[in-house]
Chain A
Amino acid sequence: MGEEAIVPRKETHAVVAIRVERMQRLVVRWAHQLLLNALIAAGGVVMLLPLVWLMVSAAKPMEEIFTVPITWVPKKFVFMENVRAVFEAVPFGRYYFNSVFVATTVTLMTLLFCSLAGFSFAHYDYPGRDALFLFVIATMMIPFPIVVIPLFVIVKQLGMLDSYSALIIPTAVSAFGVFLMRQFTMTIPSELIDAGRIDGCSEPMIFTRIVLPLIKPALASLAIFTFLGNWGSFFWPLIVIGKDKYRTLPLGLTYFRSNYITYWNQLFAASFLATIPIVIVFLLFQGWFYKGMVMSGFKG
């Protein structure tokens, strides 16, 4: 190296050849990257196309929905008119409120019960603890259709059909949540909890003052998951809800669909309204979405 600096550089054939080769490699890598990006981007566009199409169609007048070729910019922009028509046809605001109310309540209950149980499984010692935890994990494997009939019967016998309780109570704890909370709470050193005890904290205070603040990230992930799952929930509400008053958005949309099937543009406007908050929340908090999912299977 030092020699090169002193002796004026004279490019031999070999040096030129190396240069050319390096350039070639760079071009190849660049082309490779470009191709790869183009491929992935094209796939991504295909994935997003139906959603974009939904948004566009939600702003179209009826006659423009059924045109060949497909128009990507509405010739007449009537989104607000479509929305108004939806609100006139069905109590859409009520559906919206129901969805928000049910999903929020279920989420809060899930967070509370799951974090309590997770804390218990992670930091307390009592006979049968591990067996109980295994039992909770095992219930994760039970698919919903297996329990749906008896669940319906329970709810019916308790006189809860057609009520918020039917939507909220049977779904307010998840095995996955307990699992997630336990895995996360385990990362809190027990010295910290003992220190709390020495300082005179009662056990519930340890939970609220020490544990809860430390597991905030896991709580956020679980909250997003639970809310999302509940927001889209369809099978269970379909079975226990008949009255318009308690319909959530998915039910309301299917009802709209079966009764106003000719108004596709309105149906799309309604679908768009039901989906867009979720998409926005996702775009704002992407990290939490992935994190919770990742924690579900890969920690511990």
Chain B
Amino acid sequence: MYTRRKLWGIAFATPALLYFLAFTVYPMLNSFYLSLTDWNLLSPPQFVGFKNYASLLDNPQFNQALAATLYYSAGVVVPLIIFSLALALLLNRPMRLRAWYRAAYFIPVIIEMVVASIIWTYVYHPTYGLYTLFTRPFGIGPINWLADSKLAMPALIIFSWWKGTGYYMVLFLAGLQNIPDEYYEAAKIDGANSWAQFLHITLPLLKPTTLFVTVVCVIGAFQVFTPALLMTNGGPAGATRVLPLYLYENAFQFLKMGYASAVAVFMFVILIILTLIQLRVFRTEAYF
């Protein structure tokens, strides 16, 4: 009877496990293998060793894509964490309109990336765009956000602030609600002002949340694809051709599957290194 129960247990997990084997683990291993080949999908893959990796590092386009991804990630991750934490702190106190505020900040999160990209292409329209609401009163403009190689990436970054703040705000709000009120009461009795409370109670106890948010945010930033394709198509002059877009172009437009796989593996390695660094910086146990 007991072993039969065990078998049922295994049976329940089997479909999901097979799924992960087929659609995550196998593809990942296959990525490593393909990165060592030359393959255009038409003839069988040719094993070429580390040639693709060598040509990656030689290729100025790849280096530009890597730089673009790092630029984007840096521009997105740190401000996004600061904004969303500040918002969460503001919205964590009792307030009559709190639910409405929270919803307002969260709505950009649920809008499809494609629709958001379409709207924002129009927001950045040099003469008729929504941004002119904020610049025209000061006599600034017209600004050609998406066609200027210096401004295209900042435009993409600002867009991502808008799109992402609500998501991380909700995560931080949850983290804040996990901090027991007694700590703050005790601190008040000890005469700690709100800044001291923030520094000595909120921040340390929010550490696991911050770690989680940072890791998720960095992984997300490295995967940015849709807005870079739809708003700027990687341009102007490759300024916004981030790694996933570079991978997409090489794999599915130039059919350089081996080379594109090398890009994927390279990206993965960087992400792992970045995640390890974050774990190190926060020096806290994984809690999930």
Contact = CB atoms under 8 A, between A and B. Distances in A.
State whether these chains interact. Answer: yes
Interface of A: 33, 36-37, 39-41, 43-45, 47-51, 53-54, 57, 65-70, 113-114, 116-117, 119-121, 123-126, 129, 132, 135-137, 139, 141-154, 156, 170, 172-173, 175, 178-179, 203-204, 207, 228, 231-232, 234-235, 239, 249-250, 253-254, 257, 264, 267-268, 271, 274-275, 278-279, 282-283, 286, 289-290, 293-294, 297-298, 300
B180 to A, nearest CB: 14
B50 interface: no
Given A36-B90, A44-B105, A151 B6 contact: no
Contacts of B248: 145, 235, 239
B15 to A, nearest CB: 5
Interface size, B (range):
35 or more
Counting chain B CB atoms within 10 Å of each CB, the highest count among A146, A203, A293 belongs to A146
Contacts of B16: 113-114, 116-117, 136, 173, 178
Contacts of A37: 95, 97
B118 A154 contact: no
A145 B263 CA distance: 10
B40 to A, nearest CB: 12
B28 interface: yes
A274 B24 contact: no
Nearest to B93: A36
B252 interface: yes
A217 B272 CA distance: 33
If over half of A's interface residues share one DSSP class (helix, strand or loop), that class is named, otherwise mixed; here it is helix
Contacts of A70: 128, 130, 132-133
Given A49-B130, A253-B118, A286-B99, 9 more contacts: A50-B130, A143-B271, A146-B264, A149-B27, A149-B31, A172-B19, A175-B24, A204-B8, A293-B170
A294 B171 contact: yes
B244 interface: yes
Contact of A116 (B15, B31, B119): B15
A7 to B, nearest CB: 34
A94 B126 CA distance: 34
Going nearest first, the 6 A-B pairs with the smallest beta carbon separation are A124-B9, A44-B104, A232-B112, A117-B16, A150-B27, A120-B12
A142 B103 CA distance: 30
Interface string B4-38: 01101111110111011011111110110010000
B267 A146 contact: yes
10 contacts: A33-B95, A49-B133, A51-B108, A53-B130, A142-B268, A143-B219, A146-B27, A149-B261, A156-B41, A297-B171
A153 B226 contact: no
B52 to A, nearest CB: 12
B110 A228 contact: yes
A232 to B, nearest CB: 4
A48 B247 contact: no
A132 B104 contact: no
Contact of B119 (A53, A149, A172, A249): A53
Contact of A203 (B8, B23, B127, B247): B8
B92 to A, nearest CB: 12
Nearest to B134: A46
A162 to B, nearest CB: 14
A293 B208 CA distance: 15
B120 interface: yes
B101 A41 contact: yes
Contacts of A153: 30, 41, 257
A42 to B, nearest CB: 11
Contacts of A283: 103
Nearest to B243: A145
Nearest to B247: A145
B72 interface: no
Counting chain B CB atoms within 10 Å of each CB, the highest count among A147, A154, A268 belongs to A147
Nearest to B128: A66
B230 interface: yes
B105 A126 contact: no
A294 B170 contact: yes
A58 to B, nearest CB: 11
A124 B5 CA distance: 8
B197 interface: no
B112 A249 contact: yes
